[in-house]
A and B are shown apart, each in its own frame.
Chain A
């Protein structure tokens, strides 16, 4: 094929093609928001603010309150982040700064491989391997050790089979870890060598260089990376559905059964026959959309502020 000579017509075509692509994206997004609003409106209008404050989810009586799934979603996502962040940070620092680069490349591929495992596999592994192990070696000893009536006892009560909010958070943590670690590593590698070398030249130790020079340099972008991980944790469905215990009650114990927005939709949408049931599930989708939007918008804002990786 001959190379086309640069021409005004070709450039116009190129520009309009790109414009069409972005317009198509926006149309999809707009259509999605529109149909979520349209489908969820009957439930939102009928239950009003009660939709967010009540945790009664009774498809037979047509009573729907989303407090349980919403709280479960936020709780598991933030717990997952809390568990994943230190490990991700350690991994990223090790790969970027401590480990010889020849090995680091292979280790980085291994970390990214974790991100490529389908979520259903995490779910099955969680249900058949992690949950029984967790019950036997963490939950039962903790339940036995807790003083009856104490704060700790309330936090760890639950069915001792490992299907609970804590295990779901643990699985989520494993799932978001590679994302955060990979982005953090890239960010750390983007720190100008001159800065690092200057710091070492001044006699800084390795931990001082990482903690005082490199991390502050990429701080805002790093927060953005964490928020992207949070966005993934918020929307994760299959793995959580298998392991969270699927109870619509408001979560009161870390080791109790709970539910998330996406697990509730995945569980009930297929067989939802009542109009209000379908509408309540779509409204849940809208709520998740709003939560994710806020997270991603915050991430973009922070990523943009220091210009991202330089």
Chain B
């Protein structure tokens, strides 16, 4: 109650912090919701998470109307310093290209970042294009036009996907670039993961990209994508975890790491971390400490919930790094949490 009033009134004098509030990215919302429910059952402390989008999360934590913000697009170290925020990853996920081509099942078609970029640039327009044939010599591809489907709404999913394309294709980097919403050169936009999956499902010859959860839910064929070490890998939880383990956490200022194209041979190339933003000097230290206790609890007991919902928990070495970061960066970190367990 107090937490919801706090948003309305822009401040709340409550010091006990039996409820805290967060807002931001929609991508991790199911897991945060699941954790919050279990945490409330275990401790009686309510964590309210409002999935209003990464942009909204950044704006709200900057304005101080929430206790933590969440974003899929990491803020740069310079921005973090300017806003006096601390940023750390909390979960890993993956983005998966899905296709609807009659006769081609899950994991049968192989694609590279370069070919994906050319498809999304509108340069490769048919499934029989030599660039696709060369990667799939054994497949009989139908002579169909490729219908490109992308997200219509601004989204962290799009940010990760376009970051990957920009990394793999110079043409993409110069003409489109990476962002939550970009100037698409081809195709049509669906609203949300569901919208993209629906358009792909309804259009023979379509390709789209969705979060891993939706790829398995929609029963559409996914593509194998070549990773940085040259292997064609399938999108699964082990491949996302490999990408997370390979990333240089703690060595990059502000943890501003986009997980795409990690060098590990088992890593899924379009993996992503989703981040939490907290004030380094919180207005209300008691509430901030409650949030950190919740995250610490989630690190210790929340992995099963995340996996059940097709998300990937952080490797334990990364969790320890983050606990150290809390202690050094956030003024109100409670002592038992700060010590790595």
Contacts and interface: CB of A to CB of B under 8 A. Distances in A.
Given A135-B202, A160-B203, A271 B54 contact: yes
Interface string A261-272: 001001111111
Interface in B170-208: 176-184, 187-191, 195, 198-199, 202-203, 206
Contact of A161 (B52, B153, B182, B199): B199
A269 B56 CA distance: 9
A57 B52 CA distance: 23
Contacts of B189: 245-247, 257, 267
Contact of B147 (A131, A159, A248): A159
Contacts of B184: 247-248
Interface string A244-278: 01111000000001010001001111111100010
A161 B56 contact: no
A162 B184 CA distance: 20
Contacts of A242: 191, 195
A163 interface: yes
Contacts of A131: 202
Contacts, number: 101
Contacts of A269: 55, 154
A273 B58 contact: yes
Interface string B51-88: 01111101000000000000001000000000000000
Contact of B152 (A58, A63, A241, A273): A241
Interface bin, chain B: 20 to 34
Grouping DSSP codes into helix (H, G, I), strand (E, B) and loop, the B interface class, with mixed when no group exceeds half, is loop
Nearest to B51: A270
Given A247-B188, A273-B54, A268 B183 contact: no
Interface in B106-162: 147, 152-156
Interface of B: 52-56, 58, 73, 147, 152-156, 176-184, 187-191, 195, 198-199, 202-203, 206
Given A259-B152, A272-B154, 20 more contacts: A58-B183, A59-B181, A60-B179, A60-B183, A127-B195, A159-B187, A241-B152, A242-B191, A246-B188, A246-B189, A247-B188, A267-B153, A268-B153, A268-B154, A270-B52, A270-B56, A271-B56, A271-B181, A272-B55, A273-B58
Interface of A: 56-61, 63, 127-128, 131-132, 135, 159-163, 241-242, 245-248, 257, 259, 263, 266-273, 277
